[in-house]
């Protein structure tokens, strides 16, 4: 098209230039005839016409060359660019985009928003309702060895070594808010009960919280009682495969009640009034009890934390990646409860009083934790037990994803004939995708016999002590020394 335009412009310009010359040519011709027989003058118009013809020939040649190039490009395109396979891919991509647009338009029209921000969620477009879905899967393998002494010709536990796989935790958590962000809720359960216990969906936590303002809130339902830090840090955020035996024995567990919470930039306080602790040292009372079940006259638990350095977000777990700043958290807790009086026997039921204190430090690539817990248990009219436990834990990153840790624990009991508990655990974490995808392996060694009072199938420890008879006096014998446990676990969170 540009070539044709240039031809038109050249022709127009030639006509304008040639006009005066043509008139001059006529005048010269007439004079020559009048003057008779002179030499004819040069013809400038003829010269210009010849130049125009030459330009037209050049344009035709250039146009033909351009046409040949375009034909060649079309031929190559047909072979490589717009093949049938690629056309199908492009068509599929367009269909996917249109389908996604239709889906988004449908969701918007129905007033529903969905997506992923740390977890899957559904929310109303007006912001009044939100549902967050969280999942947890822990699959582990445990090996336990202890030296059994046959009694009456037969080993009490059948085998020196026991090992096997288990789905320790398979949990779903539903949380969010309703009507506005001040009314929060959470429901958490474990499929198929607790590690093989009866029940399809064992209820763990279920509560409603009302956020009064930026600092104060109150919740009601079933939840972990505020007491010791090791139990309050969720299982998926621990360093070792499982919490310490000291914690398994002395934590308060879950209960139903109400809890008042205060939280600001450096202080956190929780006070709970409940049905009472579901704790090992109390015989593990059943959770999810009805109002008319036998309970306690009163049960109160409280915990206070002081953020000495760092941020609150650092202390949702025990680890401290290299990117973390320095952080320090101090905590104390207390609990007291008293069982119902037995009117017919004119006696009071079991009661307890507990204290705990802990310090947690995050050092940007290393972490440290130390705790002390005491429980005073009045088993009236039985004996009074005084239980004490200490846990010390250290961890350090050797690469951005590999972390080594070691933990020592010691526990002793006054008021009952029990050998002290002494256990050391060492292992590693490989953070494939942080806590969301994590592999943990550790090795535990009982430095002294593990009494049945301390043994925990969840943690992989069997009893090293066997009671042979109860009458007239308990007869107990040590069946093992220095049992050891190997545990490895793969964890997935979504």
In the chain, where the domains are located:
2-29+43-81, 136-493
- What pLDDT score was predicted for residue 147? 78
CA 117 remoteness from chain centre: 10
Residue-level pLDDT at 27: 40
d(CA 45, CA 48): 5
pLDDT of residue 149: 54
Percent of the chain with pLDDT over 70: 72
The pLDDT tens digits of the residues spanning 378-422 come to 876 678 899 999 999 999 999 999 999 999 999 999 988 888 999
Average pLDDT over residues 351-375: 97
- Say whether pLDDT at 468 is over 70: no
Q: Which residues pair with 14 in a beta bridge?
A: none
Mean pLDDT of 444-450: 93
With a cut of 50, say whether residue 234 has pLDDT above it: yes
Q: Is the pLDDT of residue 111 over 70?
A: no
Task: Answer yes or no: CATH 2.40.160.10 is held by domain 136-493.
Answer: yes
- Residue 243 confidence (pLDDT): 98
- Residue 49: per-residue pLDDT: 59
State the pLDDT confidence band at 107, using cuts at 50, 70 and 90: low
Cα–Cα nearest to 45, from 23, 20, 18: 18
Mean pLDDT computed over every residue of the chain: 82
pLDDT at 318: 98
Sorted by sequence, the CB contacts under 8 Å of residue 279 that are 6+ apart come out as 250, 251, 252, 253, 285, 352
Q: Select the more confidently predicted residue: 293 or 381.
A: 293
Half-sphere CA count of 289, side-chain side, radius 13 A: 19
Write down the pTM of the prediction. Answer: 0.75
Q: To the nearest whole percent, how much of the chain has pLDDT over 90? A: 55
pLDDT band at 202 (very low <50, low <70, confident <90, very high): confident
Confidence of residue 9 (pLDDT cuts 50, 70, 90): very low
* Neighbouring-strand partners of residue 410: 390, 422
Spell out the residues 6+ positions from residue 473 whose beta carbon is closer than 8 angstroms to its own: none
Does residue 478 carry a pLDDT above 80? no
Average pLDDT on 72-101 reads: 63
Question: What is the pLDDT averaged over residues 88-108?
Answer: 64
| Residue 153 pLDDT class (50, 70, 90 cuts) | very low
What is the mean pLDDT of the segment spanning 286-298? 81
Query: Residues 294-298: contacts with CB within 8 Å, 24+ apart?
Result: 294/340, 295/339, 295/340, 296/337, 296/338, 296/339, 296/340, 296/349, 297/338, 297/339, 297/340, 297/341, 298/273, 298/336, 298/337, 298/338
With 50 as the cut, is the pLDDT of residue 21 above it? no
Cα separation, 132 vs 119, whole angstroms: 7
**pLDDT band, residue 15 (cuts 50/70/90):** very low
**Whole-angstrom distance, CA of residue 494 vs CA of residue 492:** 7
Residue 459 or residue 201, greater confidence: 459
Question: How buried is 451 (Cβ within 10 angstroms: 0-12 exposed, 13-18 middle, 19+ buried)?
Answer: buried
Among 255-264, 410-419, 427-436, the least confident range:
410-419
At residue 155, the pLDDT reads: 44
Q: Tell me which range, 39-48, 322-331, 447-456, 470-479, is most confidently predicted by mean pLDDT.
A: 322-331
The span from the CA of 135 to the CA of 493, in Å, is: 6
| pLDDT band at residue 192 using 50, 70 and 90 as cut-offs | low
CB of 489 closer than 8 Å to CB of 440 = yes
pLDDT band at 347 (very low <50, low <70, confident <90, very high): low
* C-alpha triplet 443, 448, 454: angle, nearest 5°: 80
pLDDT score at 30: 39
């Amino acid at each position: 098209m540009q070539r044709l335009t240039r031809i038109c412009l050249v022709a127009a310009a030639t006509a304008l230039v040639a006009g005066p010359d043509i008139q001059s040519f006529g005048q010269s011709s007439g004079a020559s005839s009048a003057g008779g027989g002179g030499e004819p003058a040069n013809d400038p118009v003829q010269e210009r016409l010849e130049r125009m013809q030459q330009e037209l020939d050049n344009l035709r040649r250039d146009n033909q060359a351009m046409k040949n190039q375009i034909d060649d490009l079309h031929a190559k395109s047909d072979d490589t660019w717009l093949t049938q396979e690629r056309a199908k891919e492009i068509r599929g991509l367009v269909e996917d985009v249109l389908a996604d647009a239709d889906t988004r338009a449908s969701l918007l029209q129905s007033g529903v928003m969905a997506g992923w921000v740390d977890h899957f969620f559904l929310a109303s477009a007006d912001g009044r309702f939100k549902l967050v879905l969280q999942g947890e899967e822990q699959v582990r393998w445990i090996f336990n060895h202890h030296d059994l002494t046959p009694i009456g010709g037969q080993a009490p536990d059948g085998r020196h070594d026991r090992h096997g796989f288990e789905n320790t935790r398979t949990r779903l958590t539903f949380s969010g808010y309703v009507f506005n962000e001040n009314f929060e809720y959470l429901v958490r359960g474990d499929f198929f009960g607790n590690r093989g216990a009866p029940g399809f969906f064992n209820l763990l936590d279920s509560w409603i919280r009302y956020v009064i303002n930026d600092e104060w809130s109150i919740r009601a339902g079933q939840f972990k009682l505020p007491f010791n830090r090791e139990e309050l840090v969720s299982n998926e955020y621990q360093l070792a495969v499982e919490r310490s035996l000291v914690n398994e024995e002395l934590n308060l567990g879950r209960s139903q009640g109400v809890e008042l919470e205060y939280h600001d930039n450096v202080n956190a306080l929780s006070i709970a009034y409940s049905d009472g602790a579901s704790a090992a040292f109390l015989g593990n009372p059943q959770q999810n009890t009805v109002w008319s079940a036998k309970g306690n006259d009163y049960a109160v638990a409280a915990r206070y934390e002081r953020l000495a350095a760092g941020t609150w977000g650092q202390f949702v777990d025990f680890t401290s990646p290299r990117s973390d700043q320095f952080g320090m958290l101090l905590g104390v807790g207390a609990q007291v409860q008293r069982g119902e009086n037995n009117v017919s026997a004119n006696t009071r039921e079991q009661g307890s009083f507990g204290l705990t204190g802990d310090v947690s430090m995050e050092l940007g690539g290393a972490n440290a934790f130390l705790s002390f817990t005491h429980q005073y248990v009045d088993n009236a009219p039985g004996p009074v037990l005084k239980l004490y436990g200490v846990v010390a834990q250290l961890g350090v990153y050797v690469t951005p994803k590999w972390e080594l840790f070691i933990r020592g624990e010691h526990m002793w009991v006054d008021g009952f004939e029990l050998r002290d508990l002494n256990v050391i655990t060492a292992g590693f974490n490989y953070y494939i995708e942080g806590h969301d995808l994590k592999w943990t392996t550790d090795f535990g060694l009982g430095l002294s016999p593990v009494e049945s009072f301390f043994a925990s199938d969840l943690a992989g420890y069997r009893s090293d002590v066997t009671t042979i008879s109860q009458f007239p006096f308990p007869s107990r014998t040590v069946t093992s020394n220095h049992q050891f446990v190997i545990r490895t676990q793969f964890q997935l969170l979504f």
